[in-house]
């Protein structure tokens, strides 16, 4: 079975990816998605405040960079988990990322040879 990860950005809720997820599922893909740090159920790590300003504030830019690094580590652990699943073909792993998720998916594709294809949607 093909596998694909969907990585959302700061403002793109994972639930909005359902149309894409449904299309991929109907074509036989397995889907895995996780919340970014400071986003979704993990927003508690940022005291329930929007993480967007972390990027543009020089005093908090390092927190934003750590958020991306930790999120990429989380995805690599998710790939470790997928590799334990008999129904997942690890030679056909891809990732799709939107906005900040696009930055993360770009990093993940560059860092992890298990990712065979990546689609990175980063907008300004």
Question: Greater confidence, 120 or 10?
Answer: 120
Proportion of the chain above pLDDT 70, given as a percent: 70
Domain-embedded: residue 99: yes
For 68-112, what is each residue's pLDDT tens digit? 888 888 889 999 999 999 988 899 888 888 777 788 888 899 999
Residue 1 lies in a domain: no
Sign of the CA dihedral with 93 first, then 113, 82, and 65 last: negative
**pLDDT number for residue 120:** 82
- Is 40 within the bounds of a domain? yes
Which structural domain, as residue segments, surrounds residue 72?
8-121
What is the pTM assigned to this prediction? 0.73
Spatial distance between the Cα atoms of 82 and 2, rounded to a whole number of angstroms: 11
**Overall number of domains in the chain:** 1
**39 in any annotated domain:** yes
C-alpha torsion angle, residues 45, 77, 109, 99 (rounded to 10): -20
């Amino acid at each position: 079975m093909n596998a694909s990860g969907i990585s959302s950005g700061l403002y793109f809720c994972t639930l909005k990816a359902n149309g894409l997820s449904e299309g991929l599922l109907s074509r036989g893909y397995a889907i895995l998605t996780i919340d970014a740090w400071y986003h979704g159920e993990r927003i508690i790590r940022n005291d329930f405040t929007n993480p967007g300003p972390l990027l543009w504030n020089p005093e908090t830019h390092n927190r934003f960079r750590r958020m991306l690094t930790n999120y990429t580590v989380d995805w690599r652990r998710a790939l470790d988990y997928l590799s334990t699943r008999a129904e997942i073909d690890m030679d056909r792993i891809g990732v799709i990322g939107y906005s900040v998720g696009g930055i993360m998916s770009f990093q993940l594709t560059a860092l992890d040879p298990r990712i065979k294809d990546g689609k990175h949607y980063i907008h300004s």
